[in-house]
Structure 1
Amino acid sequence: MSHASAPSVPTVLSSPRDFYGDLMRASQATRAGFLAERERWLRGVPVEGREELLFEFEMWLRAVERYLNLHNAVVDARARPLVTRDFHEELADVRDAMERAVRVARHLQDPDSDPKMVFRKYVETQLADDRVRRLLIEEELDQETPPESLFVVREAFDALKNLLDNLLQLPLIGLSLFQDVGKLTLREIVLNRYFRPFRPLEFRVEYDRLRSVRLLDILGALPADTRPLYTTAFLGLFRVLHYLTHVDPETQPPVPRRVRVLLSLVRGEAAAVASYLHTELSPKAGSKPLQAATLRAARDLARETDRIAREVMVDLDRDPAAALRAAEAFTTLFRQQIVALVDALAPNGSLGEEAFAHLTSPQDAALRLRKDLWVYAQLCRAAEGHLRSEDVPAAERVLAALKSFLDYFHDGGYQLLRYADYDAFDRFSSLLVELPWPPEGPGIRSRLAEDLRRFSQTLETTFHAVSRRSLLQGRGFDRPDAEALRDRFLPPATR
């Protein structure tokens, strides 16, 4: 069919935005350039589980920073004044956390570039020429790339760890020495260019995603003015639960010393989330029942966090099992508050017993993602077919349907993808953003059809990979349900 009936004035087919990604980037806008470069680096790191390794590494940086601030420490000042306290135990905890951070950093380091940087460091120590040595030091501290930045912080923690080994030989470590170690450590952390740890309620697209199908649907239905507020609250709540997954509940006491450092971070972040719920979310929560629910969640978080600190964490030095009991109590607390907020937003959708497990069911997430991928591929194949047959009006209708589907997909299925898959999906979305319509000439239409074909293959490959997951074994693909979703977007005449 001729494309004479197509619009005469070219328009741009705008692609939907990743709301959650935009929200996360907005929380770190002052460092957007560095973080975008770090994202590109991470996608090229040839290590299994690289996103979780990066999360853990930055978690330990943040935890050490928090633990060395006495405002976050749980010490019984009434039993013994701080000025007379021996801080051996605390510095031993910090040393264990630093050792773990260094180990994780080594896993993330590029196997090719790491030996080169180690050799350059060795050369730097052997040079007699102060001018050349200074140039090498300045090049290293410039941290021009993420691998160089990672190497700098790793070397700093190695040096601090060796310093702590010697300090721990002293008969007494007083308050001033503990605080000086904190100042040195803080400087190394905050001056790092690419791996400066996240602040409270600052999120990373690499590892902060909401993977609950029900929660994503609830948030997607919220008004535009309140949706970012609730999303931030849930991201903060799930972030703390993510911390707590690094405490193995099956560990037999005594638990690793670094767990005490992690619990200090959990306590501090819990206070930050409670403050956000009280001061930021509740005044704008919407209805009075929602305002009451957010205030109640803020109060419960603050009160229970204080109780866990007073009744459980204060015994960390005396009770080998106290750390595990504190981690369990925090986990229960945060799960309860997530469920309570979900119930407040959708009061008719009772989750019943095992509420948190139902809310975060990985099987439900896999089923939703599999269905969305199938529909996405169907739309792409339909658009490709109409382009190849030169049915431009039909192709235009399918591409409009595709854009409409992407609004739905980005709020749901896209959030359930694995980080490694994002690059291909983002590149295709960018192609749609830059697409002028109608594409003039058979050459342009042919190239667009080829792009659609290739991305359809990516979608089908991802679909089959999701289908092979063990948690979907025995769960056949519900084709009628998927076709019903497809038919919500695809005009009948273009199927």
Structure 2
Amino acid sequence: MTSDSNPPTRGQGQGGAHNAYVELLRDSRGLRREQREARDAWFSKLAEKQKDEILFELEILLKGLACFANPRNHPGSGRRQTIVSHDFREQLAHAKDGMLRVVQLARMMLGERDRAFVFQRYLETVLPEDNSRTRLVYATMAQESPEAALFLLRQAFTNLIETGTAMLRLPRVSYRVFYAHLSITMREITQSAFFNPLSALEFRPEFDRIGSSAVLELMQNVTGEHPHRLVALTFLSLYRMLRYLRLLDAIALDHTDRRVAGRAYLVLAVLRSDGRALSNYLRRRAGELLAEGFGRELGRVGASDIGARHDALVAEGQRLSAIKDALLTVSASLRVELRRIFEHELPPADAKLTEQDLRARIQGATALLRPAIELCVLFLGRALGATLEEGRVFEDVGVRRGTIARVRQNVWMFAQITRAFASKLRHADPTSDRWAVPESFGFVRDFLGYFRAMGYPLVVLGDYPRARSLVASLAALRDADLLDPTRLDVAAGECEAFYDFSIQLFERMSQRELAGVPFDRPAAARSLKLYLGD
């Protein structure tokens, strides 16, 4: 898969000629123009009623086979087990089940053409001359149309299923064998002219168009090449992850297919991989790209114009800084939430669960993760100056109450963290020997991380009136080499004020939007414990 540090395409918002949203949908796959047109024409002629869902699952399972080859994308309880000592037999079985589903989906889209595959497979086994067999193979390798490319994938996966079935008869499957099998699978996918979704952070117009006019307008109003592209990339990625969750729910509810584990673990691997790719890209590149664009703009200002444009340049710098803070917050929130779900809520890929229990665990995990991703969408919109209403942003019915319930839980959780932090600040001794007591103020660094991932979204979404004072006091702690009593006292006072605001917000939400919905304090306490453990 391509690197997560260089998503393709460029784009500009109001201030430029390009539209990053459109270009990401059109170009991130890397198809040539004639290939895009051929694929669009083929897709429009498909007779299947649910062709959007069928094609989406097919491509996500293809990508999932590549992501599943990396054990970092497997769910588990944070086990530190070397891959050398692990038996990957169950994982290989899941991969084979995923391939079976790929073949099933391909047959649905091929329709009558699938009969030709059965006949050709028969010919491959009965032709006596090697030259005839070779000509038959070469004839199928020409991918002049999406249908021909799909036919070739169908053929390759049928052979891979046969070899996978044979390997499952082994008493033990090492990681080298598991990876070798999936690396051959990846090679087949990368050679597909029309169905190669293995790039990180790639999108398709068939199923990635954002239906919310409010979000589209917000993206278009972000000026500047890099800010516009970063915001468009983030929104598209968040909406894609929400679609992964809908697919997982559909798999968990599909009782006509017993291959729930194979399908689900492949989709989960894609979710983990894409979430990590977005989080890492924003953390490593957002600040650099925004600074680079601002530096170019500043370099174009003549010395004689600096005075006249001083205020405008300062305002632009503050705008870019706010965008960077928002993107870094999305990055931190995604990293924490995905780690919590994959390490504590989802069963390992080799768990011996019943089909019913696995379906329940998948639905439970999606129910926890969906509000977290939706909050990232709402937070990013609010941080960019727009008030996004849930009903105009998300497709799922009833999302508002679930999202608000998650906000209430986060408010309560971060209030406890803030109260403990303020107490530590009040009792901290900044004159202690820093050399004799290493990491004596490590709790400050820890709190700043918690604030980035959970606290700052609540400050923005809750319209906290003292937001600037709170952020400034915490920035003073972050930027100081030595913590003086004055800074500690100011930060403690701001945190105590924010704690009072949080408790009032918690009570207000419980009495208004969530009236009659009891607050599960033990569950929130367990979530807080897991969160602090990360």
TM-score, normalising length from structure 2? 0.58
Task: Report matched runs for 1:339-488 at 5 Å.
Answer: 339-347=378-386, 349=387, 351=389, 355=390, 357-360=391-394
Q: Greater RCO between the two (CA within 8 Å, min separation 6)?
A: 1
Partners of 1:350 and 1:123 in 2: how far apart? 59
Can you give the 5+ residue segments of structure 2 that lack an aligned partner in the other structure? Answer: 1-16, 291-318, 398-534
Partners of 2:23 and 2:180 in 1: how far apart? 39
Are 1:256 and 2:260 matched, yes or no?
yes
Are 1:232 and 2:218 matched, yes or no?
no
Cα distance 1:214–1:361, how it changes in 2: closer, same or farther (>3 A)? Answer: farther
Are 1:55 and 2:56 matched, yes or no?
yes
Are 1:146 and 2:146 matched, yes or no?
yes
What is the aligned residue count? Answer: 342
Match of 1:26 in 2: 27
Partners of 1:337 and 1:159 in 2: how far apart? 42
Pick the aligned partner of 2:276 from 252, 271, 274. 271
Instruction: Compute the displacement of 1:19 (Å).
Output: 6.5
What amino acid does structure 1 have at the position aligned with 2:89? H
Q: Is the 8 A contact 1:282 1:294 kept in 2?
A: no
Partners of 1:148 and 1:266 in 2: how far apart? 29
Match of 1:66 in 2: 67
The Cα offsets for residues 224-249 of structure 1, whole Å up to 9 and x where unpaired, read as 52323211211111111111111127
Following TM superposition, the consecutive aligned residue runs of length 4 or more in structure 1 with deviations greater than 6 angstroms are 16-19, 252-255
Match of 1:201 in 2: 201
Partners of 1:298 and 1:100 in 2: how far apart? 33
Cα distance 1:76–1:174, how it changes in 2: closer, same or farther (>3 A)? Answer: farther
What amino acid does structure 2 have at the position aligned with 1:214? A
Cα distance 1:318–1:336, how it changes in 2: closer, same or farther (>3 A)? Answer: farther
Pick the aligned partner of 2:324 from 287, 291, 295. 291
Partners of 1:362 and 1:244 in 2: how far apart? 11
Cα distance 1:197–1:361, how it changes in 2: closer, same or farther (>3 A)? Answer: closer
Partners of 1:150 and 1:255 in 2: how far apart? 22
Instruction: Compute the displacement of 1:152 (Å).
Output: 1.3
Instruction: Compute the displacement of 1:315 (Å).
Output: 4.5
Tell me how large the CA RMSD over aligned residues is. Answer: 2.9
The Cα offsets for residues 174-195 of structure 1, whole Å up to 9 and x where unpaired, read as 2222122122212222122211
The Cα offsets for residues 300-333 of structure 1, whole Å up to 9 and x where unpaired, read as 1112222222222355526644433333333222
Instruction: Compute the displacement of 1:110 (Å).
Output: 4.2
Partners of 1:315 and 1:138 in 2: how far apart? 41
Partners of 1:73 and 1:295 in 2: how far apart? 25
Instruction: Compute the displacement of 1:140 (Å).
Output: 0.6
Q: Is the 8 A contact 2:219 2:228 kept in 1?
A: yes
What amino acid does structure 2 have at the position aligned with 1:273? L
Task: Report matched runs for 1:102-251 at 5 Å.
Answer: 102-111=103-112, 113-225=113-225, 226-248=227-249, 251=253
Cα distance 1:284–1:343, how it changes in 2: closer, same or farther (>3 A)? Answer: farther
Q: Is the 8 A contact 1:58 1:198 kept in 2?
A: no
What amino acid does structure 2 have at the position aligned with 1:309? F
Cα distance 1:342–1:105, how it changes in 2: closer, same or farther (>3 A)? Answer: same
Cα distance 1:229–1:77, how it changes in 2: closer, same or farther (>3 A)? Answer: closer
Partners of 2:85 and 2:203 in 1: how far apart? 39
Q: Is the 8 A contact 1:74 1:309 kept in 2?
A: yes
